[in-house]
Amino acid sequence: MMNILIVKTSSLGDVIHMMPAISDAAQAIPNLKIDWLVEEPFAAIPAWHPAVQKIIPIAMRRWKKNLTRQMTWKEISSARQTLRQPPYDLIIDSQGLLKSAIWAHMANGIRVGYDRQSIREPMASFFYDKGLAVSRQLHAVERNRLLLAQALGYHLSNTGPDYGLQGLQLRLPIPPITLPPQSVVALHGTSRDDKLWPVENWISLAETLKTKNHTLVLPWGSEAEHQRARQIAQYATNTLVLPKLNLDAMACVLDQAKAVVGVDTGLLHLAAALGKPGLALYTATQPKLTGAISDCHAQSVLQNLSTPETLTPQAVAQALGAVLHP
């Protein structure tokens, strides 16, 4: 049995982008044992994949804020001890950052990652025993798949990405919320203001959906997102503002949706991984390297929209109508 460690610590979208590579490896190598080092806010995601055996959570963001506390150093020491125990046949850092390379270096085993020309932070490559060349012009999902295929020595097939989330809702706790029929989930929150779609556009979309008896469902994760959701709901009666949900519950909510419309955010990639139809609105970035890529089992893929003429409220409503009523 081969025992490997995946180092992909954050963020939400990046962790989801790693899932198809795990499916590839598990299919190519029988009895492969996979552990995964990940930031604690995203630890639920690798746990969803049937091929992942053990999750090793770290808490860099929380630890940085509490460096003077004894408990912080106890937790860091515990994580280091866990990494030293197995040992691993191979440690694969697919994050490509200095901080992830340092964690990979703490683990016991041969360390592999991107080479200097392929990596996001070239200095990180010095921490690897072997660097692998993977074009930076490829989508993140394909980079992860190629890195793992090269590291483990198997041929990568031409099939679409399998995120390993088929039947996920059956493996999760019963969701706390049941959505109304014909619900469309609006992923309106993101980490950068320039990636937002204006509130008035969401209100306009909700009004269009109202004519077809669709409910616009508004999740949120931060107080700013909560305020935005309430502002949209104030002017659109066919909306549902959700309570704050964890990732397990959010996955169940997305799975219930008739369709999803979202800006460039991690939850959008979760919707793609779950095979949900809908629209991805790229207002500030181009989707070539990090756009939504749907699971290979999806009956209708998420469409990436990034040009000004496709991002108007009228164009989005028309494109969504074609998804909901083909």
68 in the same domain as 26: yes
Its domain, for residue 126, covers: 3-152
CATH number at residue 240: 3.40.50.2000
Give the three-class secondary structure for 133: coil
- Distance, CA of 195 to CA of 123 (rounded, Å): 30
Domain contains 165: no
pLDDT for res 158: 87
112 in the same domain as 190: no
Domain contains 166: no
Domain contains 168: no
pLDDT for res 5: 98
Name residues whose C-beta falls within 8 Å of residue 279's C-beta, 6 or more positions apart in sequence. Answer: 259, 260, 261, 262, 302, 303, 305, 316, 319, 320, 323
Q: pLDDT truncated to tens, each residue of the chain (326 aa)?
A: 899 999 999 999 999 999 999 999 999 999 999 999 999 999 999 999 999 999 999 999 999 999 999 999 999 999 999 999 889 999 999 999 999 999 999 999 999 999 999 999 999 999 999 999 999 999 999 999 999 999 999 999 889 999 999 999 999 998 889 999 999 999 999 989 999 999 999 999 999 999 999 999 999 999 999 999 999 999 999 999 999 999 999 999 999 999 999 999 999 999 999 999 999 999 999 999 999 999 999 999 999 999 999 999 999 999 999 999 88
- Distance, CA of 28 to CA of 156 (rounded, Å): 9
148 in the same domain as 43: yes
109 in the same domain as 180: no
148 in the same domain as 10: yes
pLDDT for res 130: 98
220 in the same domain as 137: no
96 in the same domain as 215: no
Domain contains 50: yes
103 in the same domain as 191: no
65 in the same domain as 134: yes
Domain contains 36: yes
* DSSP-derived secondary structure letter, 239: E
Contact 265, 284 (CB under 8 A): no
Domain contains 19: yes
